[in-house]
Structure 1
Amino acid sequence: MINITAAELRGIIDYMDVVTEKLYDVDGWTDIERVNRSEMGGVEVTELRLYNRYVDGDDDVQNVFVRYYGMNDETPDNKIVVEVEVE
């Protein structure tokens, strides 16, 4: 699980830029595809797939779920506002 705090998103226009950067930091992933984006109970949920074009077989794809809880100027810097779960 990758957690992103409000402090990491201050001044960032699109939180997915930070998510993408962190996912590419995970060793081995070469491509990211957005599969679905929806809102459930006030939480924005984005489903992604990570691919490794250098690996053949089942190990070359991972599903990722990104949950964005939202934030504003009053959100404490240490509050987790994005959770990224790689399955």
Structure 2
Amino acid sequence: MKTLKTFEITAAELRDVVDYMDVVTEKLYEVDGWTDIEEKNRSEMGGIEVVELRLSNKYVDEGDIQNVFVRYYGMNDKTSDDKIVVDVEVE
């Protein structure tokens, strides 16, 4: 599948955020046309949390669902603000 849009989230954007998926969901509002979000899979690979989401529009056919892949690399108080800690690919 072809990637339609990518987002990178820095440590500064996640400071004092309880759940990084709140920031991811906010970024996904830049993707037009979806009304519903569903988590399909969550796993950890090599210390990286990977979440697969599906975006759908309840007003159109199933064929218009977009897949989203989120990779969270982790962070702590010592992580520099400009370090990318989450990347998001929308296909």
TM beyond 0.5: yes
CA distance in 2, matches of 1:32, 1:26: 12
The match for 1:48 among 53, 63, 68 is 53
Runs of 4+ in 1 over 3 A off after TM superposition: none
1:53: how far off?
A: 1.8
Query: Could you tell me whether the CA contact under 8 Å between 1:5 and 1:80 is conserved in 2?
Result: yes
SS at the partner of 1:26?
A: coil
Q: Which amino acid aligns with 2:20?
A: Y
The match for 2:83 among 74, 79, 83 is 79
Gaps of 5+ in 2: 1-5
Any idea what the Cα deviations from partners look like across 1:9-43, whole Å, max 9, x if unmatched?
00000000111111123211111000110000000
The question of 1:66 aligning with 2:85 is answered no
Q: CA RMSD in A?
A: 1.1
Task: Give the TM-score of the pair, scaled to structure 1.
Answer: 0.92
Q: Decide whether aligned partners of structure 1 residues 86 and 70 sit closer, same or farther in structure 2, where only a CA change above 3 A counts.
A: same
1:54: how far off?
A: 2.5
Task: Give the TM-score of the pair, scaled to structure 2.
Answer: 0.88
Q: Which amino acid aligns with 1:52?
A: N
SS at the partner of 1:85?
A: strand
How many residue pairs match? The answer is: 86
